[in-house]
Amino acid sequence: MRNLLRPGYLSLSLVVIAFAVACFTLLSPWQFGRNTERETTNDQITAAKKAPAEPLRAGMPEWRLATVTGEFLGKDEIVARLRTVQGEPAYEVMVPFRQANGQIVMIDRGFLRPEQSRVPAYPAPPAGQVTVTGRVRADETDPKNRSAFTDDSTQGKRQAWAVDSRVVAQATGLPIQPGYLQLEDKTPGALGALPLPELDSGPFLSYALQWIAFGGMAVLGWIYFTWRELRPGGALTGQRPRRRSVAEMVAEEEAAERAAMST
């Protein structure tokens, strides 16, 4: 058993154990978690498709259709940049909306396709009191926590890096409620209506099972390797035949030739 304490074997064992632990406790659970998130989103979207639109209220589940009545605050509009809609680049237009009860929510008017890498011209939101319909959405989060900005590339229009009511509130100074409403097609103020996500389960469950399989194969391979190397003649026992040098092989051939000639 002292062979199992050799540095080479210990290093191999540590690598295998670390990989297996990562597969079972990190990589596989991560993919299982993503699969659960996808299933939750699919369930919410399926339920939202069947439910009629209702007046917006606090605590409504994501993707539910909701209606609000009030007016667009068009001067405080901000464009979200570097978006992708149906696999192509896009901008999304965010605008605060003051409800009849005085509360302010953020509206995502929809998407625009860029023209020469710039925000194209688009119609302003309607003036006066209107009723709009959209889907309840949770705020996105910019990992770098960047604020809205303007520079030469934005043509004087404020732009942001995420669809986030908190960024719009910070930029405009308005007390905007968390989350936002993503407008449906043919509702006042809508631009290009954003499509619903695909209702597929994705590859996450299969990835999770693959990581479990990889971890199991690593452990089984380590067990087999240990069993094989502990047998007589294994590398760890030091009993493998010594490799002959070229000079030794030539000497053996010459000796065999001389023996043949002498007979």
- Among candidate residues 141, 166, 179, 168, the one with its CA nearest the CA of residue 57: 179
Q: Which residue has the higher pLDDT, 154 or 61?
A: 61
Q: What residues does 118 pair with on adjacent strands?
A: 115
Rounded to an integer, what distance in angstroms lies between the CA atom of residue 61 and that of residue 45? 10
Please report, for the chain, the start and end positions of each structural domain, with discontinuous segments joined by +. 2-34+204-262, 64-183
* The pLDDT value given to residue 257: 76
The mean pLDDT of the chain is 87
User: In the chain, where does DSSP find H-type helix?
Assistant: 7-22, 28-50, 165-172, 204-230, 246-262
Rounded to an integer, what distance in angstroms lies between the CA atom of residue 226 and that of residue 237? 11
pLDDT tens by residue, 137-191? 999 999 999 999 987 767 778 999 999 999 999 999 999 999 999 999 999 999 9
